[in-house]
Amino acid sequence: MRSFYRPPWRVDLTIRAGVRPPVAGAPLVRAIAAALDAADAPGPASIGLILSDDAELASLNAAHLDHAGPTDVLSFPLLPAAAFPPHDGEPADRRSGAAVDPFALPPGRRPHLGDIVVSVERAIEQATEGRGGQTSDVRWSAADEVRLLVIHGALHVCGWDHAERTEERAMRALERRLLG
């Protein structure tokens, strides 16, 4: 694991053995930091990024979502959506209105927002076959696909979702803006 600091964020990057990312860690850290900033995440904080393969994502997908097979990205938020400011397209009934008390941590410790796990193998395949962009119709580089997936995962950690049509449109628009 290697930690990158992009104040107020710390991104803990783990690259699994045998995984060869098509993009270096620094651009991925910038992408995550931009997503956390755009989501107005509470900082300073840390977030984990694990670059893995289809086998691990299939295992996680089965264990946590009861879905068979690999997926491109999974997020594991540690804070409820109410810990983040409301965002465009978010269904009004998602928020309880109750304030979220931060975790009590020792002095100088950052709260951990959660973790993002990306299948680099799936990202490369999606980009190569022109099935990228989270809409399965974008042809671009594998590096751009991995950048999109880490942004997408970071937004999920911050309480964004795409189950509702209006929120999906808002999330896709923000992802496009963050990709620049």
User: Does any domain span residue 100?
Assistant: no
12 pLDDT more than 80: yes
User: Does any domain span residue 140?
Assistant: yes
User: Does any domain span residue 168?
Assistant: yes
Number of separate domains in the chain: 1
76-134 pLDDT, tens digit each: 999 988 888 888 888 766 655 555 555 566 677 789 999 999 999 999 999 988 877 77
How is residue 76 annotated by DSSP?
E
User: Does any domain span residue 91?
Assistant: no
Burial of 111 (0-12, 13-18, 19+ CB in 10 A): middle
User: Does any domain span residue 106?
Assistant: no
User: Does any domain span residue 94?
Assistant: no
Average pLDDT over residues 38-61: 96
pTM above 0.75, yes or no: yes
User: Does any domain span residue 92?
Assistant: no
Please check whether residue 6 is in contact with residue 29, taking contact to mean a CB–CB distance below 8 angstroms: yes
Average pLDDT over residues 155-179: 93
CA distance 64 to 92: 26
Tell me the CATH number at 12: 3.40.390.30
User: Does any domain span residue 104?
Assistant: no
Instruction: Identify the domain containing residue 28 by its residue range.
Output: 2-85+111-179
